[in-house]
Amino acid sequence: MLFTFFGHFMSLFSTAPQSLCILRLSAIGDVCHAISVVQAIQKQWPETKITWITGKIEAMLIGDLPGIEVIVFDKKQGFKGMRELWRQLSDRKFDALLHMQAALRASVLSWGIKAKCKVGFGKNRTREMQSLFTNHHLPISDKFHVLDNFAEFARYIGVPFDKPQWDIPLTPEDEQLAISTMADKPTLVISPAASKDSRNWLTERYAAIADYAVEQGMQVVLCGSPAPREVNLGSDIEKLCQSPVTNLIGKTNLKQLTAVLKHATVVLAPDTGPAHLATTQSTPVIGLYAHSDPRRTGPYNDLDIVVSVYQQHVEAQQGKPVADLPWGTRAKGDDLMKDITLDMVKQQLDKALNSSKAPNSNTTLSKDS
């Protein structure tokens, strides 16, 4: 804690640097966390030029954030893509590179980017040999959530970080679909697909909670990407629902999806990017977790309404209490999510709807706005 106390005096920059490079390539949820940190830096140092290197899909989200130069690295291009990016940046030297992705591919990419200071995670939060590619490391972290660990980059360079805020611009075109779909009715948005099928909740339970929401006077919208497994999951849920649901899976781009999540009353999702996108829009999220610790990867503002069976599984598998396990320990197994019962989720849905957190179902929207 000593460092945090003296952090003010020991930060990397005492005045605004001229240029920063952000390296965070992938995973929509992680990019959402990173946006709040980058925007905190912009607020503190509006004159600092910020360049963000990110993946192709992620660039759709951050491409028009105000004041950020976005450079796309397409990982499918492999080493050829890396050389191309190095060539593109060959005449630039940044004051600092914030290396916010402890993955070997990102580290190799960082190798060809010139920066006076290359800042990586602290010893207890890094992996895949990231420290070999950086010359500054964050202090040992007592922070648990991924977002709070990202925020340490801001503090380290001299930017205070209190609670995350997001400003992701949405155009009227981005919002049109959401507004016409949801009108001004209370809406449960379900984003059913996680990155791995084993992390999805059970198809029939998604359908059952949709029917329950309809009984409570809500409408239900399904959302997700055009990946075939997501489209199939969506149509399977739809078939099992007793009441009609609106299925937008594969029918939205990333900005339209963000707007759908913005206009939801509440969002239900397993460990997946849209859960964190919803958080950027101040929409309450009920997260469903079994494999990862929700205190580390859950929806940042809604850890009080998550439904998790992580602790029981990881303790049974590791044979020790969760407090004694290394940060980032995952539970393994293909059928853990079945231990999340329908009743557990109903309970949190009721709680979310009754809490003052849930905005009074978008009453500000009217059909003709």
Final residue in a domain of this structure, among 92, 122, 157:
157
Domain assignment present for 187: yes
Q: Looking at the structure, do residues 97 and 199 belong to the same domain, yes or no?
A: no
Q: Which residues contact 256 (CB under 8 A, 6 or more apart)?
A: 174, 177, 178
Q: Confidence class of residue 60 from pLDDT cuts 50, 70 and 90?
A: very high
Quick one: which of 81, 122, 115, 85 has its CA closest to 100?
122
pLDDT tens column, 146-159: 999 999 999 999 99
When pLDDT is cut at 50, 70 and 90, the band that residue 2 belongs to is: very low
User: Using an 8 Å Cβ cutoff, are 339 and 312 in contact?
Assistant: yes
In this structure, the answer to whether residues 145 and 176 fall within a common structural domain is no
End of a domain among 107, 126, 157? 157
Q: Are residues 142 and 276 in the same domain?
A: no
pLDDT, residue 123, reads 76
Instruction: For residues 216 and 210, give the distance between their C-alpha atoms in angstroms, rounded to a whole number.
Output: 10
Domain membership of residue 15 (yes or no) is yes
Give percent of the chain above pLDDT 90.
80
The reply to whether 166 falls in a domain is: no
225 and 90 in a common domain? no
Query: Which is more confidently placed, 243 or 139?
Result: 243
Residue-averaged pLDDT of the chain: 91
Q: What pLDDT is attached to residue 133?
A: 81
Regarding whether 128 and 58 lie in a shared domain, the answer is yes
| CA gap 355, 369 in Å, rounded | 27
Helix (H) or strand (E) holding 88: helix 78-88
Tell me the percentage of the chain whose pLDDT exceeds 70.
93
Evaluate whether residue 110 is within a structural domain.
yes
Let me know: does 127 contact 149? Beta carbons within 8 Å.
Answer: no
Residue 143 predicted with pLDDT over 80: yes
Q: Is residue 25, in this structure, part of any structural domain at all?
A: yes
Identify the pLDDT of residue 183: 82
**If pLDDT is split at 50, 70 and 90, which confidence band does 7 have?**
very low
Q: Clarify whether residues 115 and 234 are in a common domain.
A: no
- Total number of domains constituting the chain: 2
What is the model's pLDDT at position 10?
A: 73
Question: Helices marked H in 12-72 — which ranges?
Answer: 28-44, 56-62
pLDDT band at 115 (very low <50, low <70, confident <90, very high): very high
Indicate whether 88 and 213 sit together in one domain. no
pLDDT at position 356 is: 52
pLDDT at residue 236, as a whole number: 98
**Residue with the larger pLDDT of the pair 139 and 198:** 198
pLDDT at 360 over 80: no
Are 184 and 298 part of one and the same domain? yes
Kindly give, in sequence order, each residue whose CB lies less than 8 Å from that of residue 301, ignoring residues fewer than 6 positions away: 279, 282, 284, 285
Are 106 and 28 contained in the same domain? yes
66-83 average pLDDT score = 93
Of the three residues 157, 191, 209, the one that is the final residue of a domain is 157
Query: Does the pLDDT of residue 366 top 60, yes or no?
Result: no
Are residues 140 and 183 both part of a single domain? no
Say whether both 208 and 347 belong to one domain.
Answer: yes
**What pLDDT score does 191 carry?**
98
Specify if 136 maps to a domain. Answer: yes
pLDDT digits (tens, 9 = 90+) for 310-349: 999 999 999 999 999 998 899 999 999 999 999 999 999 9
Kindly state the average pLDDT of the residues 76-98: 94
Over range 1-19, report the average pLDDT: 66
Domain holding 286, by residue range, is 172-354
355 has a pLDDT exceeding 60: yes
CATH number, domain with residue 64: 3.40.50.2000
Is position 247 within any domain? yes
**Mean pLDDT along residues 70-98:** 94
Mean pLDDT of 351-355: 91
Do 179 and 152 fall within a single domain? no
Would residue 360 count as lying in a domain?
no
User: Sorting pLDDT into bands at 50, 70 and 90, what band is 265?
Assistant: very high
pLDDT at 273 over 90: yes
